[in-house]
Amino acid sequence: MKKWWITLAVLVVLVAGGLIGAGSYFYHVAIARGDKSFVTQSTKLSKKSQVYHEKYWYLHTAKQTWTIESHDHLRLVAWYIPAKKSTKTVVLAHGFAGNKSLMGAWAGMYHELGYNVLVPDSRASGASQGQAVGYGWLERRDDLQWARTVVKRTATKQIVMSGISMGAAGMTMASGERQIPQIKAYVVDSPFTSADAIISYQAGQLYHLPAFPLVNVTSLITKLRAGYSFKEADAVAQIRKNRLPIMIISGTKDDFVPTRMGKQLYRNAHQPKQLWLVKGAGHTTAITQNYQRYKRHIASFLAQYVD
């Protein structure tokens, strides 16, 4: 009997050690600052692209570099590009493993629509400090702080909060927090429902692994090291608290953030809301599939709430 208990104890220790080791590895892959080689993104310009002119403008236009200190004392960095005599500004959040230099298509579009453009590097990305990606939960407070900074530093009277992928999820999470009166609407492209849901989905897609118990262990490590759990980073719970207009964009062929997540967010949102399912579009590719249509859809939605 004693040997049986010893054997069982050894097995428990080995399994626990293996899970902690695996969880630590996936923390490094998904949460810790560093290269995310499984996400491919490019800054290359192609004249064949529907957003060539927007990206070219963004690459060459003069930019002001802004900095703020986050609530947890990180130095965060953004580019600000003013429009001529405009009192409306968009705060534009990039996606997972991205940075502000990749946002030319969206920045150019909003500039063409007459907006001043503020594009931050999210924490643990680009020139901003931080060692942990927040999957939107940590970033939501940063996004709102950037909005307050815009009001303090410019003549902005109306703000649109917008983002793609993780930046879209973070903006959705921000929508459930206390808003400043200058924020008029949200536009989110390819948002996920929660960190728990998207990491569980990607564990299956990328590694063919079940969510339990690996995601749970990684979430616990994230709570200890980064200060949040995957279930806390919940865009569905946040959108239920939002009372501002929100437009949700999802591609029907998105294999990185499944379309059902956009639909779930829409179902849980209050009016006024709009869901645009872009037939055939992949993850955040609706803008390059048909740029003019994308621009018209967003302009039409925002015209109802922003002068």
Domain ranges of the chain: 1-30+195-231, 49-194+233-303
pLDDT at 37: 56
The DSSP call for residue 100 is: G
Q: What is the mean pLDDT of residues 282-287?
A: 98
pLDDT at 1: 53
Strands 116-120 and 273-278: unpaired
pLDDT at 208: 79
Rg of the Cα atoms in the chain: 20
pLDDT at 211: 85
Name the CA dihedral angle for 104, 109, 115, 120, rounded to a multiple of 10 degrees: -30
Structure tokens at 185: 């609407």
pLDDT at 18: 56
Q: What is the mean pLDDT of residues 212-220?
A: 91
Q: What is the mean pLDDT of residues 211-239?
A: 95
| Maximum distance among all Cα pairs of the chain, rounded to whole angstroms | 82
pLDDT at 26: 80
Q: What is the mean pLDDT of residues 75-98?
A: 97
pLDDT at 221: 95
Choice between 26 and 232, residue whose per-residue pLDDT is larger? 232
Query: Average pLDDT of the chain?
Result: 92
pLDDT at 11: 43
Q: What is the mean pLDDT of residues 134-160?
A: 98
| Residues contacting 46, CB < 8 A, separation 6+ | 52
Percent of the chain clearing pLDDT 70 (strictly above): 90
Q: In this model, does residue 116 exceed pLDDT 70?
A: yes
Choice between 96 and 8, residue whose per-residue pLDDT is larger? 96
277: left (phi over 0), alpha (psi -120 to 50) or beta: beta
CATH topology for the 49-194+233-303 domain: Rossmann fold (3.40.50)
Q: In this model, does residue 304 exceed pLDDT 80?
A: yes
Q: What is the mean pLDDT of residues 261-276?
A: 98
Q: In this model, does residue 5 exceed pLDDT 60?
A: no
Is the bond preceding residue 272 a cis peptide, omega within 30 degrees?
A: yes
pLDDT at 55: 97
CA distance 191 to 133: 16
